[in-house]
Amino acid sequence: MKNIYITTAIPYVNGMPHIGHAMDYCLADVCARYHRMLGDNVRFQAGTDEHGNKIDLKARELGISVQEYVDNNAKKFQEFIDKLGVEYTDFVRTTDDAHVRRVQEIWQKLSGHIYKASYEGWYCTGCERYVTEKECEENHGVCPDHQKPYERLSEENYYFRIADFKEKIREAILSNEMLILPDYRRIEMLKLLDESPDVSISRPVSQLKWGVPVPGDESQVMYVWLDALANYITVLGYPDSDISDWWPASAEFVGKDILRFHAIIWPAMLLGLSLPLPRTLVSHGFILANGQKMSKSVGNVVDPVEVLDKYGLDAFRYYFLRHVDTFSDGDFTWEKYDTAYANELANDLGNLVQRLATLASKNDIKLDKRAPSELPIEYRELMDAYEYARAFDFAWDKVQKINRDIDEAKPWSLAKKGEVEKLQECMTGLICDLLDANEMLMPFLPTACEKIKAIFADPIVPPETPLFPKQ
Ligand code: MSP
């Protein structure tokens, strides 16, 4: 039994939950459920990133206080995570008093690697970061992610000397002490690390009001990323308490756009604090809408709550965990979603459960008390490599095979002919195979799998309504 700490990126609360946010939670939740199934102790953090100009601006636009604005939105994110069936253990808000105080202590601990200097450069408020001259030129002065022109800013800031840690970070990435997945992103990060300058970690109060004050300098406020990254350890109680039972994290789940912060600034902070680096950074792709990046201006943003409400939680998790590869971009269209629900979830699994349970209860089939099968090695390997969509496929292949087996074995004709023993043997074989597949599906479709377990208990009771009703 191991202690496993899993983290998710904390979303900015300047808007409503987005379908993309669901990816961090769904993937991390699969990881958590899988480890609980193996008997590990799991601690699972989620939270909200509540500082920065974007949030301040949005509250002003609405004419309400920033605190009221972040309180309202943090609640919506929490409700959203609950709706996704995510079993997190800790929730952190970067405006929590304890977090703010701990981040200030972290700053002080890092002070040997912090210096003050003036800087002029191109800044994107959407990304909350400066870009290089080269990047600005390549993007023709407009941030491709936020469709906003970069601003020319000149300020006196505090800097974090990344140079002090580059060598150690490079070694940790090369040796997989901090494993970056997928591998092509690891190579990208090594290149970025080489080019990475020291980072500005504060802004003058005149430029950024809504943030954590720099200890000992009232004229400066901390850069949001320093504040946000620290959440993974402040939520465990650092530096007030010993976090070594849980830290280093086993896996940190982040989107591809923010991997760079987690692969460079974050390890530099940890090394500056003499803490170990996370064991794995799992970087997932983006969800596109009909092959296109979702954006408010294009008007193609998919509301995750609408998707969840259409067929329920299992259907949502089914689509985003099986039809979206863990590491690559995935696509959402209502058509694909409807087809996956009707043809796969309702047909392959829902009908199978219905058929087997009805036949079993009509013919009074009793399951032998048998020890549950071990999880297949192929499945374990895929799950351990965070290849969740592929592990899901592996389990689904078993479901499809049972569908073929049942058509071949024709238990209904055995029943008609009164071949009781053969029928008993055939049905227990099929049901046991289904229960084995069900175990593998448990981290992905927890609600449906619990129902299936209950259906095939003693006595076997077919569901009154189909598991996945036709719409
Ligand atoms: N606040 C920072 C994260 C700080 S973590 C210390 C942030 N917030 S965010 O709201 O912009 O993004 C939160 C997460 O959602 C990130 O992992 C991001 O990659 C993910 N996604 C946002 N849009 C996405 C898609 N369209 N598709 C998949 N995930 C994407 O960055």
**Residue from 48, 258, 287 to probe ligand 1 pocket by mutation (most atoms less than 8 Å from CB):** 258
3-class SS at 393? helix
pLDDT tops 80 at residue 429: yes
The string of pLDDT tens digits covering residues 224-254 is 999 999 999 999 999 999 999 999 999 999 9
**Residue from 8, 13, 16, 18 to probe ligand 1 pocket by mutation (most atoms less than 8 Å from CB):** 18
Let me know the angle formed at the C-alpha of 296 by 292 and 302, rounded to the nearest 5 degrees. Answer: 60
The string of pLDDT tens digits covering residues 281-302 is 999 999 999 999 988 778 888 9
Whether residue 289 has its Cβ less than 6 Å from ligand 1:
no
Please compute the mean of the pLDDT values over residues 48-72 and round it to a whole number: 95
Atom of ligand 1 at shortest distance to CA of 232? 6
Helix (H) or strand (E) holding 200: strand 199-200
pLDDT tops 90 at residue 356: yes
Q: Is residue 406 part of a domain?
A: yes
pLDDT tops 90 at residue 183: yes
Minimal-distance CA residue to ligand 1 atom 17: 255
Atom of ligand 1 at shortest distance to CA of 24? 17
pLDDT tops 80 at residue 305: yes
CA 301 to chain centroid, in Å, comes to 19
How long a stretch of residues is the chain? 471
How confident is the prediction for the chain on average, in pLDDT?
Answer: 95
User: Is position 51 annotated as part of the catalytic site?
Assistant: no
Q: Is residue 374 part of a domain?
A: yes
Share of the chain residues as helix, strand and coil, in percent rounded to the nearest 5:
50, 15, 30
Which of 284, 290, 258, 311 has its CA nearest to residue 23?
A: 284
Q: Is residue 357 part of a domain?
A: yes
Q: Is residue 382 part of a domain?
A: yes
Residue 78, phi then psi, degrees to nearest 5: -65, -40
Q: Is residue 91 part of a domain?
A: no
How far apart, in Å, are the Cα atoms of 215 and each of 49, 100, 219, 229, 353? 20, 11, 10, 18, 61
Q: Is residue 73 part of a domain?
A: no
Please compute the mean of the pLDDT values over residues 451-457 and round it to a whole number: 96
With cut-offs at 50, 70 and 90, classify the pLDDT of residue 29: very high
pLDDT tops 80 at residue 471: no
With cut-offs at 50, 70 and 90, classify the pLDDT of residue 127: confident
**Structure token digits, residue 333:** 């269209």
Whether residue 24 has its Cβ less than 6 Å from ligand 1:
yes
Which of 252, 303, 311 has its CA nearest to residue 276?
A: 252
pLDDT tops 80 at residue 55: yes
Instruction: Tell how far the Cα of 324 is from the centroid of ligand 1, in angstroms.
Output: 16
Q: Which domain, by its residues, includes 349?
A: 333-455
The count of domains in the chain is 1
CA 414 to chain centroid, in Å, comes to 47
Please compute the mean of the pLDDT values over residues 16-23 and round it to a whole number: 93
**Structure token digits, residue 242:** 């010993």
Whether residue 22 has its Cβ less than 6 Å from ligand 1:
no
When mean pLDDT is compared over 90-99, 128-137, 371-380, the highest value belongs to 90-99
CA 53 to chain centroid, in Å, comes to 25
pLDDT tops 80 at residue 362: yes
With cut-offs at 50, 70 and 90, classify the pLDDT of residue 269: very high
Let me know the angle formed at the C-alpha of 371 by 370 and 376, rounded to the nearest 5 degrees. Answer: 120
Residues of the chain with pLDDT > 90: what percent?
A: 89
Catalytic-role residue among 143, 398, 426, 449: 143
**Structure token digits, residue 232:** 């993974």
Q: Is residue 401 part of a domain?
A: yes
With cut-offs at 50, 70 and 90, classify the pLDDT of residue 384: very high
Minimal-distance CA residue to ligand 1 atom 19: 255
For position 318, what pLDDT does the model report?
98
Please compute the mean of the pLDDT values over residues 260-275 and round it to a whole number: 98
Please compute the mean of the pLDDT values over residues 189-201 and round it to a whole number: 94
Instruction: Tell how far the Cα of 41 is from the centroid of ligand 1, in angstroms.
Output: 27
CB atoms within 10 A of CB 96: 18
Q: Give the separation between CA 424 and CA 414, rounded to whole angstroms.
A: 9
Tokens 């993974």 belong to 232
Please compute the mean of the pLDDT values over residues 111-126 and round it to a whole number: 92
Tokens 């998790």 belong to 317
Q: Is residue 341 part of a domain?
A: yes
pLDDT tops 90 at residue 128: no
Q: Which of the 8 DSSP states describes residue 164?
A: G
Residue 328, phi then psi, degrees to nearest 5: -105, 170
Query: Do the Cβ atoms of 233 and 275 come closer than 8 Å?
Result: yes
Q: What is the CATH number of the domain that holds 442?
A: 1.10.730.10
Angle between helices 388-409 and 313-322 (to 10 degrees): 110
Q: Which of the 8 DSSP states describes residue 350?
A: I
For position 130, what pLDDT does the model report?
85
Report cis status (omega within 30 of 0) of the bond before 459.
Answer: yes
CA 103 to chain centroid, in Å, comes to 24
Which of 23, 79, 84 has its CA nearest to residue 48?
A: 79
For position 420, what pLDDT does the model report?
95
